[in-house]
Structure 1
Amino acid sequence: MSNLTPREIVSELDKYIIGQDAAKRIVAIAMRNRWRRQQIEPELRDEIAPKNIILMGPTGVGKTEVARRLANLTGCPFFKVEATKFTEVGYVGRDVESMIRDLMEIGVTMVRKEEIERVRIKAEKAAEDRLLDLLLPGSRPKTAGAGFYMSPAEGDAAPLPGKDEGTREKFRKMWRDGLLDDKEVELEVSSQADPGVSIMAIPGMEDMGMQMQDALGRLFPNKKKRRKMKVKDAYEVLIQEESDKLIDMDKVIEQARERVEQTGILFLDELDKVASRQEHGGGVDVSREGVQRDLLPVVEGCVVNTKYGMVKTDHILFIAAGAFHFAKPSDLIPELQGRFPLREELQALGKDEFYRILTEPRNALTVQYKALLGTEGVALDFTREALEEMAAIAEKINEDTENIGARRLYTIMEKLLSELSFEAPDKSGSKVVVDREYVRCRLADVVEDRDLSRYIL
């Protein structure tokens, strides 16, 4: 858990997300409260439940990005799921608890990557020794590791230690200098045996089918097969094998479970789509309310069975989001409303915000396209007037058609630069300046024709 202050969290989010200061503040406080909770004595710590959040606002204003960037910033396991996934197969839908299983998978993967980085130096050294054993069979009195088969036949005379050690060190130096990268060696690699049994997924029980498939796969031993590969590729395979030997998976799973339970973030999108509206009776609202009642125990706190063991959801932070154009948070069942005490409305984006989105973030679209075309040797530059024109067009198209927020800039930018992107390989070494006239010329037809803009922009 990061010990960043709320002000520092907001400052970091400002580097990628324009505006929405109130939403940034509310999630920053939620994350700081998690850190504060860890400092309290265990007796009281377990009693402090997370204050779940509902973010309301039209699409493309940054609801998902706020949660995703927050998770990346703090190193928390993060998983996004649409609430409509639980209704799209009729009254059955997907198993609601599957989102906790998916979050646990992400936690295990995250901790395992960290452990691999921690043991990488040891793994590289062991892999290098095994690689030299492949290149010089019998150069050590006793070869280590079981991932290769090029060992001297029994009865062969062992080489003289001094001479052999000198040869081995020469090969080590040649390998480190990259002189042996293209040499081929034979290596024994493991492959998961195919159980040969296919589990048919029943709607709503896909996760059970996957767990059955996984359990059947474990009953069959891994197969060994010999492969010829270049030394450089063999080295990566050996690093992976040595890393697996150095990692204690039981410890990884225990750490992942702790991290998921204490710092996990589950982003529940499109919550408004499962809110029942009072003016409609029966029909699809039965399914919507059923999803809410299925969500309720998970959000309140329960124990979910995963293939890594039981996971408690009491202290997982749930951030729900939705446009809430027609439904309102008050249309949710009362029990679920009570589990989302914090609510914040994100503001629609206008011309000024679009201009800032094009210029300020570290990953701004202008920066991305400059880098993409730079790979072809084309120097791309945007004038201030061009960016202002694009921002104005984005605002106008959002007003005239559907308001899709900042995502409108993707379509405008792609339409604007499509011709240049196509011809870029033939323009290597040139410089292209995008000014106001360039923007107006490329987008004139679709901006003026409202029907055409509906399909293109």
Structure 2
Amino acid sequence: MKMLERKELLPREIVEHLDKYIIGQNEAKKAVAIALRNRIRRQKLPKELAEEITPKNIIMIGPTGVGKTEIARRLAKLANAPFVKVEASKFTEVGYVGRDVESMIRDLVRVAIQMVKETYTKKIQKQAREKAIDRVLDILFPAPSMPDSSDDPRFPHYERMINLREEKRKDVENGLFDDRKIEVEVKKQASPQVIFDIVAGGTMDMFEDLKDGLSGLFEPPKKKSREMTVKEAIDFFTEEEAEKMIDMEKVKEEAIKLAENNGIIFLDEIDKITSRSSGGSGPDVSREGVQRDLLPIIEGSTVPTKYGIVRTDHILFIAAGAFHIAKPSDLIPELQGRFPIRVELHSLTKDDFVKILTQPKNALIKQYQALMETENVSLVFEKEAIETIAEYAYIANDSIENIGARRLHTIMEKLLEDILFKGPELSGTVVTVDKKFVEDKLKEIISKEDVGKYIL
């Protein structure tokens, strides 16, 4: 099986796709589009030359909530690439309490394994389901032992039962037995939880591979009976049969290649591991230690995982940070050199908020309208109401803390609180949100001195 299928999108097409979900920030979109296209170009080169071309890693600079994470996440989804988001501030230098920096590579490989497994599973789904139905039929209509020959007096009975099974098979496939309850044997595995109870906080990540390796070691897997419907049993058996049919060695091999050549790691809050991020005090040695621990992984090294050795040379790293106190030049020079592309994302304006509310495929207003439609309520927003919501979001960000587009989530929840609460009682009605409705709900809160208490 070949590596997961992916379209060779043009940089312009990549930006157009990102425009459907993220408002503005064209410089950042252009940078990631070029980075993605360069990957496609590299994979077409002779192997010797391709090995020499490393990704042009990117640092995104901008306040929270302006689209940094969303750009990286949507890019990975578009590229059908394994994606992991980690916060640099969660890491500490090896030897201190905290997360081992190599854990992000192990996380990336796990994501790749899941992606490849899902692809294999889709290909064998039909075959696995047929075997699952056979197992259900064995419970509902057990097949008799096959006689040695057709002369055996038991043969007519055997033939009738086989024909009956075939007839009933069609009924099972058509869902006529979906609600019938049957007893299914499931494996019950022991888990050495005591090991993990000793481990505290973030260091538990270091024992994830150990957990998988020791699961069931102290006590062999047991079986227990569980009652479920035929429909549930078919789904359960389909999953079991698919697991048996998948060649995990091939999955591992392909997943490692996928992670190495197409993986994207989003390294958030990178500004918080600079020495200046503490404002001149704090454990600067630890922060610089984190940078030095990250350096070999970003430069290109090998990381052992339970699935095999992973090379990090061609993984794309996208770092991000607000850089309010620190600046990219406060990172150690070696790390700066591994992020040659720097793009600035801008704070959101009132017009940006209007667009965020209405234009993207997953726009907030569209989400709330869809939610209310499930209860037969038509939720209508007038143009002036949307502009007023955007204005209040901008004011709240300006007067408290700038949290970008996330401000809209809290404002919309407060604005629609009563409508959402009364939803079932409003069935069959049209609810119109106009400017007056927005002002009545939000004006008093926005004008309060302790506004942060109400909209955080």
Provide the TM-score with structure 1 as the length reference: 0.92
Structure 2 distance, partners of 1:103, 1:350, is 35
How big is the shift at 1:164? 2.5
How big is the shift at 1:162? 4.4
Change (3 A) 1:420 1:157: same
Matched, 1:23 2:28: yes
Structure 2 distance, partners of 1:290, 1:38, is 34
How big is the shift at 1:193? 2.6
The aligned amino acid for 2:370 is A
Structure 2 distance, partners of 1:247, 1:95, is 31
Counterpart contact for 1:76–1:264, Cα < 8 Å:
yes
Aligned length: 445
Structure 2 distance, partners of 1:21, 1:370, is 29
Q: Which moved more, 1:83-92 or 1:420-429?
A: 83-92
Change (3 A) 1:281 1:354: closer
Q: Deviations 1:250-299 (Å, cap 9, x if unpaired)?
A: 10011100000000000000000001129966741111111111111111
Task: Give the unaligned 5+ runs of structure 1.
Answer: 143-154
Matched residue, 1:92: 97
The aligned amino acid for 2:427 is S
Structure 1 distance, partners of 2:204, 2:169, is 50
Matched residue, 1:178: 175
Identity %: 55
Change (3 A) 1:456 1:76: same
Task: Give the unaligned 5+ runs of structure 2.
Answer: 1-5
The aligned amino acid for 2:168 is F
Matched residue, 1:213: 211
Structure 2 distance, partners of 1:258, 1:163, is 52
Matched, 1:124 2:124: no
The alignment's C-alpha RMSD in Å is 2.2
Matched residue, 2:12: 7
Change (3 A) 1:218 1:39: farther
Matched residue, 1:326: 325
What does residue range 408-427 of structure 1 map to in structure 2 within 5 Å?
Answer: 408-427=407-426
Secondary structure of the corresponding residue to residue 379 of structure 2: strand
Matched residue, 2:3: none
Provide the TM-score with structure 2 as the length reference: 0.93
The aligned amino acid for 2:327 is K
Counterpart contact for 2:11–2:30, Cα < 8 Å:
yes
Q: Deviations 1:215-265 (Å, cap 9, x if unpaired)?
A: 222535322222222111111111011101110011001110000000000
Change (3 A) 1:141 1:130: farther
Counterpart pick for 1:160 among 157, 162, 172: 157
Matched residue, 2:269: 270
The aligned amino acid for 2:238 is I
Q: Deviations 1:161-210 (Å, cap 9, x if unpaired)?
A: 54224312321222233221111222222232334642422677534423
How big is the shift at 1:448? 1.7
Structure 2 distance, partners of 1:321, 1:370, is 33
Matched residue, 1:66: 71
Matched residue, 1:150: none
How big is the shift at 1:399? 1.1
Structure 1 distance, partners of 2:177, 2:281, is 71
Q: Deviations 1:6-34 (Å, cap 9, x if unpaired)?
A: 01111111110110011000000000000
Counterpart contact for 1:401–1:454, Cα < 8 Å:
no
Q: Which moved more, 1:39-48 or 1:176-185?
A: 176-185
Counterpart contact for 1:186–1:226, Cα < 8 Å:
yes
Change (3 A) 1:389 1:281: closer
Structure 2 distance, partners of 1:89, 1:374, is 52
Secondary structure of the corresponding residue to residue 317 of structure 2: strand
How big is the shift at 1:317? 0.4
Matched residue, 1:148: none
Change (3 A) 1:159 1:56: farther
